[in-house]
Amino acid sequence: MARPGPDSRRPAPRTPQRPPPRTPLQAFLYWTMVLGVWGLIFVVAFFAVFATDLPDTSKLYDVQRQPSISYLDQSGAVIAVRGSQYAPPVDLDKLPPHVPKAFIAIEDRWFYWHIGFNPWGILRSQIYNTTHKGGPLRGGSTITQQLARNLFLTPNQNYRRKAQELILAMWLEAKFSKKEILSLYLNRVYFGAGAYGIEAASQRYFGKPASQLTLGESALLAGLMKGPSRYSPVSATKRAEQRANVVLNEMVRSGAITTAERDEAFKTPVKVNPTLASQRAQYFTDWVDDQVRSLLGEPTEDLVVETTLDLPIQTAAERAVRRGVAAAKGQGVQQAALVAIDGEGRIRAYVGGVSYEESQFDRATMARRQAGSAFKPFVYLTAMENGRTPDVQVVDEPLKIGNWEPRNYTGDFRGPMTLQNALAQSINTVAARLANEVGTGNVAATARRLGITSHIQLDPSMALGAVEVSPMEMAQAYAPFANGGFLAKGYGITRIRTASGKVLYDHTVEKAQRQAVIGSPALQYMNQMMRQVIASGTGTRANVPGYDLAGKTGTTSDYRDAWFVGYTGGFVTAVWVGKDDNKPMKRVTGGNAPAGIWRDFMAAALPRLKTQEIPGGTVTPERADADPIGDVIDGIGDAIGIGNDPPPPERPPAREEAPPY
C-alpha cells in the first residue's frame, strides 16, 4: 500500500471571509472620523500657511490716520476737509435702533447667527461672479469680515488676504460680543468725503450727531457701504436715493421696520448738509492746500485753515461759469476760469474750470493764455503817466512798426478820435502807436508793477496782448484801478491754526505795508476811460445797472482766448473762456461770453458785497478839441437815439499780428 505524499498531509486552504457590512450608523461614524481627520489636517495646514504673517491685533483700538486739514471760508463755514476726519466713538445704545438695523439689513442679514463668515453667502457670490463675468463683482463678506479688513488688512483683492480675513473674523467673533463687533464696525468704517465712523459721517453729511439720525438718513448712510464715492449724496444724488430705497426695502423684508415706517421714510426728504453740498471750491482748496504744505510741511496734527473765500459768492461764481459755458457751447466754448478779489487782494471767488470732477487742471492760476486787448490798460496807463489825457486826439490810420502792421477788428480805420474812445472801442492801431511811443519796456514795467508776474515779451505786438498770463494775475493787476492805486497781490489764507487753537500762521503778521503803484491823475484818467468801455464800448454786455463799473474786454487772434476783466470800488473779477487745446472758438470775443459770465456773477455778488463807487472820482480834462455847439448836437442825438449803433466787436489782435522772426 502506497504511503501518502507530503502534500496529502496539508489541510485544505480556507476561503477568506469578507467582514460583515457596516450598518448605516457605523458607516456614518467611520466617514465622519475620516473627514474629521482630513478636515483637521486641512485646518492645521490652512492656519500654518495663512496665519504666519497675520497683522498685530494688539493695536485694535489704535487709530492710525492722516491728519485732517479743515478749510473755512471768511465767515467760518466749512469749505472742504482734506485728509481723514474721525469723531469720538459713539455708544451703540445711544443710536436710534433703526441705525444698526439698516446696516445689518443691507450688509449682513445673518449677522447674529454666523460665526464670523457666512459660507452660503460666499458660495452665492462666487457663483454670481462666475456667471456674470465682466460686470461688477459681488462680495460675500459679513460685517465681521469687513471689520477685520478695515482694522487689520489692506484692500488688495487676493486669496491670501481673503483667507486672513476669515481667520481674523473668527478671532473677532471669539473675542467680542456681537454688540461690540457692531459698535466697532459703525465707529471705524469709511463713509466717504473723508469721514470715518457713523458720528463723523452724520456730522459731515447732515450737520448733526448720529443720535439724531432719521430712518431715511440711516438708510442713505448704510447705502454708502457699497461704494462711498459711487453712492455719494453730494456728487451722485439720484444714485444715492435709489440705493437708500433698496436699504429701506431690505429692512422691511428682514422685519427690521414695517411697511408703514418705510412709506413714511419715502415721504420725508433727506437733506444733505448745505455746507457740504456747496463744497465745490475744490480748485481753490487745491491751490491753498499746496500753500499750507509749503508753509508748514506735511501736517502732524489736525489743522484749521481760515481762508478769504466767501462761499455764497463762490457758489454764484460757479453757477455763472457753468451757465455761461453752456450758453456758448455752440460757439465752441469749452472751458472758463474766474477769479474775484477785493481791494486788499483777498480772494472771494475762485473757479478753475467748469467741472472739477471732469478735470482737476486749474485754469485760474496754472494756465497761461494770451491776454488780448485786456492788456491794453497797461499801455494806456503808461501813456497817462507820461502826460497823455483821455481827451488827447489821436488818429486811427494804417500803421507799420518794423515789419508789423496791426489791424483793427473791422478791417477799416476811423480817423480822428480821443484816447478814451480808442480804448472803449479797443482800437488796435492806437494802442500799438502808444506803446511804440512810450516804449514797450516801460509798458512791461507798468504791468509788472501792478501785479503781472509772467514773462512779458517786448515785441510791438505785446501792446495788443501777445502776452501769456493767468486769470489770477489779471485780477490782481486790475485791483489797483479799483482800490485807489495800491498793489493788491491775491491771497487765500488768513490764518492757520491747530485744532486745539494754536496759531501757526497769520497773514496779518506777514502783511507788508500797502504800496502805491498808481498815482493821480493817471488813476482817475484810467477809471474814466474804462468806465466808458462798459458804458458805450466793447463791454456793454457786462453792465449791471445801478453800480459804478469799469473794465476791459480782450480777444486773441483766431478767437482762441476771450477775456473780460472788470471792477467796481474795491472788487475785481477776471473771466477767461476758451479751449484747453488752444483751438479757435467761433467768433467768441471778450464782449460776449466772458462779459456775460462776468455780469451774471457780479449781479449776484454785488448786493452781498455792499461795494462803493470806484475811488478817485472822475477827472474831465480840458478838451483841446472843445466844440460847444457840437456837444449840444451830440447830446440831442444821444437823447433821441441817433448814432447809437451797437459797439462793434473787437478785432482779435495777438498771434496772427505778431511780427515775423
Catalytic residues: 107, 373
Contacts of 641 (CB under 8 A, 6+ apart): none
Which residues, listed in sequence order, are joined to residue 498 by a DSSP beta bridge?
303
Strand 85-86 and strand 195-196: the pairing is parallel
How many angstroms separate the CA atoms of 608 and 471, rounded? 23
Judged on CB neighbours under 10 Å (0-12, 13-18, 19+), 354 is buried
Going through 221-379 in order, the beta strands assigned E by DSSP cover: 303-307, 335-342, 347-351, 369-370
In the numeric block, the cell 477788428 is attached to 409
How many angstroms separate the CA atoms of 79 and 280, rounded? 8
Count Cβ atoms below 10 Å from residue 655 Cβ, excluding itself. 18
Please report the DSSP string for 500-516 in residue order. TS-EEEEHHHHPPPP-B
Instruction: Tell me the Cα Rg of the chain.
Output: 37
Query: 331: closest CA among 643, 579, 12, 628?
Result: 579
Which residues, listed in sequence order, are joined to residue 122 by a DSSP beta bridge?
none
Query: 486: closest CA among 525, 458, 517?
Result: 517
Q: SS3 of 72, please?
A: strand
In the numeric block, the cell 489782435 is attached to 653
Contacts of 590 (CB under 8 A, 6+ apart): 372, 373, 374, 538, 539, 552, 553, 554, 555, 562, 563, 564, 650
How many angstroms separate the CA atoms of 413 and 612, rounded? 38
How many angstroms separate the CA atoms of 93 and 307, rounded? 39
In the numeric block, the cell 485694535 is attached to 60
Kind and range of the H or E run holding 221: helix 215-223
How many angstroms separate the CA atoms of 566 and 599, rounded? 10
Kind and range of the H or E run holding 274: helix 274-277
Q: How far is CA 440 from CA 379, 430, 446, in A?
A: 8, 14, 10
Count Cβ atoms below 10 Å from residue 275 Cβ, excluding itself. 15
Residues 316 and 338: beta-carbon distance below 8 Å: no
Helix pair angle (311-327, 593-609), 10° resolution: 160
Please report the DSSP string for 583-605 in residue order. ---SS--TTTHHHHHHHHHHHHH
Query: 305: closest CA among 317, 318, 295?
Result: 295
Report helix, strand and coil shares of the chain as percent, to nearest 5: 45, 15, 40
How many angstroms separate the CA atoms of 67 and 445, rounded? 44
How many angstroms separate the CA atoms of 147 and 370, rounded? 54
